[in-house]
Structure 1
C-alpha cells in the first residue's frame, strides 16, 4: 500500500545529498519489498510525482512488470555483481491519457546498506531529440526569414495592384464589368492580410511582466470552450505551486490559444461523439538544456488532445509557414506559436500518433523570476 512503507525514515541517512544535483533520474528502493522511499528532482520530473508522494510506491507500479529490470535487480540483490547496466524499454507511470514507453539506459547498483538498491536511468532519445529540435529550429528560422523577405517584396506591388483596380473600376463603362475589379480588390486584401500576419510578430515590441501561467491557461480555456461549448472537455492538470514567469503575456496566451484552437478543430469527429478531450498540464522541469544553454528550472507545459493525430506527410513541417493539415487553414498558427515561444528563450515540440497529440513547451525560469 502506498505511503505505508516504514523504512524510509531509517534509511534516509544513506541517501547522498549529491543525488539531488544529478541531471539523470535516480530512485532508491528496498531490495526485498521493492518499496520506494527516495527520488531525486530529475526522477520527480520524469515520473510526474513529487518526492513526498512517491514514498510507498512499488517499483512495479511505476514501471509495470519488466522482466529485464527484474533480472538486473535480482543479480545485484544477490550480490552476484555490484552494478548492472542495460538498455531497455521503460513503461513509465501512466499520465492522464497514455503512459510512455521510453527507450532508456538503466543502471542498478547496491548502496552501502545491502538492503538498499539504487536505480538510475536516462532516455536514449534525449540527445537525438536535442539535435533534432536544434535542426528543426534552424530550418524554421531560415523559412521565417525567407517569408519575411517575400512579404516585404509582395507588399509594395500589392498596394499598387489594388489601387490600379480601384481606378479602373471608376473608368469602366458597364457596372457588370466591376465584378472583375472587385475580385482583384478582394484578393489583394486577402493577400495583404496574409502578409500582415507574416510580419505581425516582428512589428510589435516584446514587453515583459510577471505572468501567472495558469491565469493565461484559464483565459485560453474559456475562449476555446466559448467556440466549442459542447462535446469537448478541457482538463486542468496544474501544478499550482509554479512560480510566475517573466514574459509577454499576450504573446504567451496567443501561442497557447493557437495550439489549443488547432487541437479543437482537429477533434471535430470526437466533439460530434462527445468524447473530445484536451489536457493542459503544467509542471516544473529541472536541469533542462534549451538551445545549448542549461537552465536549473523551466516551465514545462503540455497541451494534449485525443484526436486523430497529425498526418505523416506534414508532421516534420508543422511549424513551417503556410503548412496546414486542415482545408482552409492559413498554416500560420503554429509558426506564430513557435516564434512567440522562441522569443521567451523557450522551445516547442510535438509528438503525435492516432489518439494522442502532445505539444510540449518549455520556457526557462531566469534568476530574477525565482527571487521575485
Structure 2
C-alpha cells in the first residue's frame, strides 16, 4: 500500500496538530510532547520529557495551579498568561484526564488567536466596507483640493494660508483613506525569497533618518538564517512601523533601547490557512524598554482605530497584521513586566528551495 494512503496512527495525528500537546503522568511530570509544544515552550521533546510541568512553565493564576493537583479535574482556561523562561505568552489551556489511566492527563496550549480563522475572515469582511466607502470619498476630495488651489490664486496674500490649509487637510484625509483602502484590499503583494537582515537594516535606516537617532538600536541577528518567503516592500513597511512604534514607546526613558532579534525556531510553528499547515520557523522580535501599552488596549492592539497615541489613527498595527497575514505569517504581542520589556514577534515561512513542493 502507498504510504500516503495509509491511515495515520495516533502519534502522527498528535504530531501534526498546530496546538501544543503534553502528556502528564500522575505526578505532573511531562512524558510526551508534540512538535508544536517544542516550539511554544522553546525546548526539544528530549529536554521536556521527565521534567515537572511547573518547572517548565509558570501560570499566573493560582487557581489553575491548584486545580492541576486534582488528577481527575477537567480544565478549560482562555486568555491566561503563561511564563516560559523569559517569555510571557497569552494562551488558551485545556486539561483532559484519561479515564483508562487514572491520574494521567493530556494538556493542550494554544496562543490566543491561533487557528481562529473564522474571526479573521469576519474581520477582513468588515474592513472591506470602509475601503469601499473610502473609494467613494476620494473623488469629491480631489475636487475640493482642485477648488482650493483655484481659489488660492484669486485670494489676497493674507487670505491664502486658509486655502493652503484646505489643501493640506484634504491631503491628510487622502493619506488616511489610502491606508484604509490598503487594509481592506484583497490583493496581496507577490512574495519571493527575501534576505531578512537586508530588509531589517533598510527599515531601521529609514526610522533613524526620520529623527529617532536618540534611541539605541541593537541588532541580535542569527547570520545563518536562510531567505524568507515574503514581499520585500511589505516586510520593510511592517518593520518600519514596529521599529518606529518601539522608538516612540521608549523615547522618554533615561536610556531608550530597541532590540531587533532574529532566530530560527526549532520544532513546528504552524499557521492554518485554507486547510493546510504552513511552517513558520523564522522569528523576528522587536523589543523596547518603554512602559508598555495600556493594559486596557493590549488585547486589541492589532484592531483598526485602536491607539494610545494622541495623534494616531490606529491603523498602523492593523496594517502590520494584514501585511504579515498576506505573507502567510503570524504576529503577536507580549509584555514582560519582570524585565520591563515589550515584544512584538513575527513568524515567517522559509523560501522554498527550487523544485520543492509547496
TM-score normalised over the length of structure 1 = 0.67
Aligned with 1:298 (options 263, 280, 290): 280
Aligned to 1:105: 94
Aligned to 1:157: 140
Distance 1:220 1:141, change over 3 A: farther
Aligned with 2:84 (options 78, 94, 111): 94
How far 1:297 sits from its partner (Å)? 1.6
How far 1:339 sits from its partner (Å)? 2.5
1:287–1:295 Cα contact (<8 Å) kept:
no
Aligned with 1:62 (options 56, 66, 85): 56
How far 1:312 sits from its partner (Å)? 5.0
Aligned to 1:48: 42
Measured in 2, the distance between the counterparts of 1:64 and 1:200 equals 40
1:26-53 C-alpha deviation (Å, 9 max, x unpaired): 5689999x7x897542221121124566
Distance 1:211 1:64, change over 3 A: same
How far 1:183 sits from its partner (Å)? 2.0
2:24–2:107 Cα contact (<8 Å) kept:
no
Does structure 1 residue 338 correspond to structure 2 residue 324? no
Does structure 1 residue 139 correspond to structure 2 residue 123? yes
Higher helix share: 1
Aligned with 1:255 (options 238, 261, 264): 238
Measured in 2, the distance between the counterparts of 1:259 and 1:175 equals 43
Equivalenced residues, count: 333
1:32-76 C-alpha deviation (Å, 9 max, x unpaired): 9x7x8975422211211245666896766423697766785xxxx
1:63–1:91 Cα contact (<8 Å) kept:
no
Superposition CA RMSD, Å: 4.6
Greater mean deviation of Cα atoms: 318-327 or 201-210: 201-210
Measured in 2, the distance between the counterparts of 1:295 and 1:366 equals 15
TM-score normalised over the length of structure 2 = 0.69
Measured in 1, the distance between the counterparts of 2:298 and 2:25 equals 43
- Work out which of the two has the higher radius of gyration on C-alpha atoms and give 1 or 2: 1
Task: Point out where structure 1 has 5 or more consecutive residues left out of the alignment.
Answer: 1-15, 73-83, 110-116
Distance 1:166 1:229, change over 3 A: closer
Greater mean deviation of Cα atoms: 176-185 or 219-228: 219-228
Measured in 2, the distance between the counterparts of 1:370 and 1:40 equals 29
Secondary structure of the residue aligned to 1:105 is strand
Measured in 2, the distance between the counterparts of 1:91 and 1:239 equals 32
Measured in 2, the distance between the counterparts of 1:266 and 1:19 equals 41
2:81–2:89 Cα contact (<8 Å) kept:
yes
Distance 1:137 1:359, change over 3 A: farther
1:295–1:365 Cα contact (<8 Å) kept:
no
How far 1:265 sits from its partner (Å)? 0.9
Measured in 1, the distance between the counterparts of 2:355 and 2:332 equals 25
How far 1:179 sits from its partner (Å)? 2.6
Q: How does 1:279-290 map to 2 (within 5 A)?
A: 280=261, 282=263, 283=265, 286=268, 288-290=270-272
1:286–1:296 Cα contact (<8 Å) kept:
no
Secondary structure of the residue aligned to 2:189 is coil
1:242-275 C-alpha deviation (Å, 9 max, x unpaired): x533231111221132122212212222xx3115
Measured in 1, the distance between the counterparts of 2:66 and 2:295 equals 33
Measured in 2, the distance between the counterparts of 1:95 and 1:219 equals 31
2:271–2:330 Cα contact (<8 Å) kept:
no
Measured in 2, the distance between the counterparts of 1:101 and 1:176 equals 58
Aligned with 1:192 (options 164, 174, 182): 174
Q: Relative contact order (C-alpha < 8 Å, sep 6+): which is higher?
A: 2
Q: How does 1:1-372 map to 2 (within 5 A)?
A: 20-21=15-16, 25=20, 39-51=33-45, 61-63=55-57, 87=75, 94-96=84-86, 98-100=87-89, 104-106=93-95, 120-123=106-109, 130-131=115-116, 134-135=118-119, 138-143=122-127, 145-172=128-155, 174-199=156-181, 206-224=189-207, 227-234=211-218, 236=220, 240=224, 243-269=226-252, 272-274=253-255, 276-278=257-259, 280=261, 282=263, 283=265, 286=268, 288-291=270-273, 293-299=275-281, 301=283, 302-312=285-295, 314-315=297-298, 317-351=300-334, 355-363=340-348, 371=356
